[in-house]
Chain A
Amino acid sequence: MARSPLAAPPRDQGGPLIKNPTLVPVLTLLWIILILFVLYPAVKLLLVTFSVDGAFSLQNFSGIWKSAYDRQALWNSLFLGVCVALSGTFLGFCFAYFAVRMRVPAFLKWLVGVLTLLPLISPPFTSSVALTLALGPNGIILSFLGIPQVSFYGFWGTWIAETLTYFPVAFLALAAVLVSLDPSMEDAALSLGSSPWRVFRTITLPMTTPGLANSLLLLFANSLADFATPLVLAGHTFPVLPTQAYLQITGLYDLRGGAALSFLLLVPALAAYLLQHYWVSRKSYVTITGKSGARSSLKGMGSIGETAVFIICIAVSLFVVFLYAIIFMASFVKVFGVNHSFTMEHFVYVFQYGNKAIKDTLIVACLATPIGGLLAVVIGFITHRKKFLGNRFLDFTCMLNYALPGTVVGIAYIVAFNEKPLVLTGTLTILVAAYIFRYFAAGIRSVVASLHQIDKNIEEASLSLGAGAGRTFFKVTLPLVIPAVLAGMKYLFIHSMTAISATIFLVSVNWTLLTTRILESMTGLQFAQASAFSVVLIVLVFIGSGSMTLLVRFYSSRLAGVKEISS
């Protein structure tokens, strides 16, 4: 069904819809799906938030303004977001600088690179569980240092955990920026008599400003939307919006109040997203004039700064290793911190009582991943190669659930699918749809990016050599975008396995998820079981994403081979 328009010759770019009659059924189908799973829930959420008994009203917000606790949650969320953005970007920059610019042994760089990837593929509770075991009540670090009880729950714990969880996002963004900085800028500054530290201050840093701003906004949005960490670590002293909305709905059965709270969350999140997407990403110093003559020669920021970066990176890396070791150990000993004798009983428990969760999680992820991948190719191809009315709106719609905090999406889904005409709550469909439409945006982006790189002449060459349009698409275009699709599918898979903020509202007796089991274990103070669940989940994600990485490599290397031969 989706094939016929794709097979249309790519040459007729710019033609109106009439020129591509085959496109009509596919577009119609796409729009039906998108309206159903993206626009309808969003509109429904707005309706519920802003109406009482069918009339426009702001009454749902009055409860929030009256409640000092809810007001506090708003400020806390914003404050936490700013703090995490700052600390995470700082750490991310240090790591990026370490990996890209410093003269350190290659294996150290590799090791640090792998360590920064760990939080990206781990379930959101990992650092929370480990931090609780390390710094929480009776935490091993505290007892080791002989520090008496300090309250770790609240701002500090949440902040540390979120920083550790999200700094790799900043790392990836900033490393890409640092790599693409033209080294001759810094050479020029040095040759004009500037000291290395001044070069860093006046050239390197300002030229990465757009990248830094980008990273700040990304982390701000991530922290704002984070649900799992505050649920475990924030406690009652530090309420934040996502957890408040969750408690409002699951604890007080106040759907409208929850919707209103999530709307408060939506505003800054969307603002950050739009700012990042439409403003910062346009500002970039990466594009340079003329042909770059110089090669990358490593430039430092001076010995004091480099020593500091080195120490920070090694210390944080060790801490991350330490945290993962704790999780691992806690799942294999009787009672972590008390009785360290080896046992398999937690894993026995996991496979006895968590079997269904494991199976369900895998089913959901294995359904969402290929469907999302297929949608990403179709949408990426259509938005990039075919110009027609509503193209930009299509793009925006696809990005919407991604830009919104997971809590908002989850609430929108129960608001929309809990009552007629469409009752989907408690089904597999709603879980799969939630993941697909929330995370397939990454796939679309990477498909579009790789389509940009494919010279249209290649397709035209195929056509001129007598291959039909269909043959051209399947033999030429598709193979070239497969690495991008796989990369997008990997992202989708990882998040389908680990993300919880949206789906926490959608799980049911029929369909449950590993992440919810971890959460239940945590709230039940069953740290050992939580650790065992986490280990199982990490291993599953690792196997899945690892094999997809290998596939991407395999395809990319084949493509690289092709390029070498043809050049």
Chain B
Amino acid sequence: MTVDLCIEGLGKTFIKGKEAFTAVRGVSLHVAAGELVTFLGPSGCGKTTILRMVAGFETPSEGSITVGGRDVTTLPVHMRGIGFVFQNYALFPHMSIFENVAYGLRAAKTDETEITRRVAEALELVGLRKVESRFPNQLSGGEQQRVALARVLVLQPKLLLMDEPLSNLDAKLRLHMRTEIRRIQQHLEITCLYVTHDQKEALTLSDRVMVVNKGRVEQIGTPFDLYAAPKSLFVADFIGQANILPARIVALSGDKAEIDLLGKPFSFRFVPGSGPERAGNGSVVLRPENIVLTPHGSGRLDATVRHRFFVGDHMEYDVSLADGQVIAAFVPYSPGMALFEPGQRVHLDFSDNAPVVLFQEKAGV
């Protein structure tokens, strides 16, 4: 029953008045059957637009969409058999919960006993009981969210599309629903596209993440790949926190690179495939959690503490380097740990085995 999804060279140009605005261009993606792929990217980068094209709400300006080997690019929405979960849930306010969930079944002319059974099943699946006769405005946000989910799951869609389904919930509930959605998706083996702003959500939920920027795909990969081996500065910066420092690459051999950083020589292990091919100017990405601060002695770079924040499980320091750049460093919290005061001079180094990401400066930049 599960199908794969293939998007090929998808593009969308909106005509606003007399201006043409290209919101999406050249997006290609293959989603395996039963896989969950998340779209992640800054606001306005085109995530919703891509999703709406897959759903059929928008017609692509170019490219094709294939579901389970069948080209659906121009197929009307109501014949695609996809499930779409809206950010605002879009429950029908004039219908009871039962009627909301039964809506699609009625469209498919299912018989009444079957409808009753399947609606009950679907509500059971999302963990709702005894709400059939209520109306959407009599439910809490989380319950409405579940109904929205039940309403599409009841149709056993081949493809489930969700546009920021959790963004209206509070943090606790979001966490809970996230695992619920994942559980149900894996249980039913539904192929799923999921749009979110929240990178934690994206990293924990998905099989793979597609990072979108300005209507283009920046990178597609497993959450781990994106974090450890970002293919662009944008991805490095967008996933997790990153300090990006200009550096000169002196020499390369295997997965080792000799780097000149602020006039000091470093030798980094870099992620193969992601790194530069030749010596020259570039940048190095340092994750804050890989930075080690020491009061004196061993570190290779001098730094001054600017601010200190206690975040709960770790301390966050803003430190300024010799050339005035401010970077972030995280120190895991442990009882009795030494604290640095703002203004204090410290030394800064990097964990030995931390893979560091290097970027070659592009020609002409």
Which A residues lie at the B interface, using CB under 8 A?
182, 184-185, 187-196, 198-199, 202-203, 206-207, 209, 285, 288-294, 297
Given A289-B144, A291-B167: A191 in contact with B87 (beta carbons within 8 A): no
Nearest CB on B from A31, distance (A)? 40
Please encode chain B, from 93 to 118, with 1 for each CB lying within 8 Å of some chain A CB and 0 for all others.
Answer: 11000000001100110000000000
Q: Which of B74-82, B230-238, B311-319 lies at the binding interface?
A: B74-82
Q: What are 13 A-B pairs at a CB distance below 8 A?
A: A185-B92, A187-B55, A190-B77, A191-B83, A191-B152, A192-B83, A193-B104, A194-B107, A291-B87, A293-B86, A293-B164, A294-B86, A297-B58
B61 within 8 A of A: no
Top 6 nearest A-B pairs (CB, nearest first) are A192-B104, A293-B87, A290-B88, A188-B90, A184-B90, A191-B84
Q: Is A187 a contact partner of B78 (Cβ separation < 8 A)?
A: no
Q: Is B103 a contact partner of A288 (Cβ separation < 8 A)?
A: no
Within 8 A of A (CB), among B120-151: 136-137, 141, 144, 151
Given A184-B88, A290-B88, A293-B86: A191 in contact with B163 (beta carbons within 8 A): no
B10 within 8 A of A: no
Nearest CB on B from A75, distance (A)? 34
Query: A354 to B220, alpha carbons, bound, how many Å?
Result: 80
Q: Is B91 a contact partner of A289 (Cβ separation < 8 A)?
A: yes
Q: Is B48 a contact partner of A289 (Cβ separation < 8 A)?
A: no
Closest to B81 in A: A193
Chain A positions within 8 Å of B76 at CB level: 190, 196
Query: A297 to B76, alpha carbons, bound, how many Å?
Result: 14
Q: Is A289 a contact partner of B78 (Cβ separation < 8 A)?
A: no
Nearest CB on B from A256, distance (A)? 49
Within 8 A of A (CB), among B26-57: 48, 52, 55-57
What range describes how many residues of B lie at the interface? 35 or more
B350 within 8 A of A: no
Which B residues lie at the A interface, using CB under 8 A?
48, 52, 55-58, 76-84, 86-94, 103-104, 107-108, 136-137, 141, 144, 151-152, 155, 163-164, 167-168
Nearest CB on A from B240, distance (A)? 26
Q: Is B93 a contact partner of A293 (Cβ separation < 8 A)?
A: no
Closest to B101 in A: A192
Nearest CB on A from B32, distance (A)? 22
Nearest CB on B from A221, distance (A)? 26
Indicate which residue in B57, B93, B155, B168 contacts A192 across the interface (CB closer than 8 Å). Answer: B155
Q: Is A190 a contact partner of B163 (Cβ separation < 8 A)?
A: no
Q: Is B94 a contact partner of A285 (Cβ separation < 8 A)?
A: yes
Closest to A186 in B: B90
Query: A416 to B362, alpha carbons, bound, how many Å?
Result: 89
Query: A282 to B365, alpha carbons, bound, how many Å?
Result: 60
Given A190-B78, A192-B151, A297-B57: A292 in contact with B103 (beta carbons within 8 A): no
Nearest CB on B from A281, distance (A)? 17
Query: A206 to B164, alpha carbons, bound, how many Å?
Result: 27
Query: A292 to B86, alpha carbons, bound, how many Å?
Result: 9
**Residue among A192, A206, A207, A297 with most chain B CB within 10 A:** A192
Query: A199 to B144, alpha carbons, bound, how many Å?
Result: 21
Q: Is B93 a contact partner of A195 (Cβ separation < 8 A)?
A: no
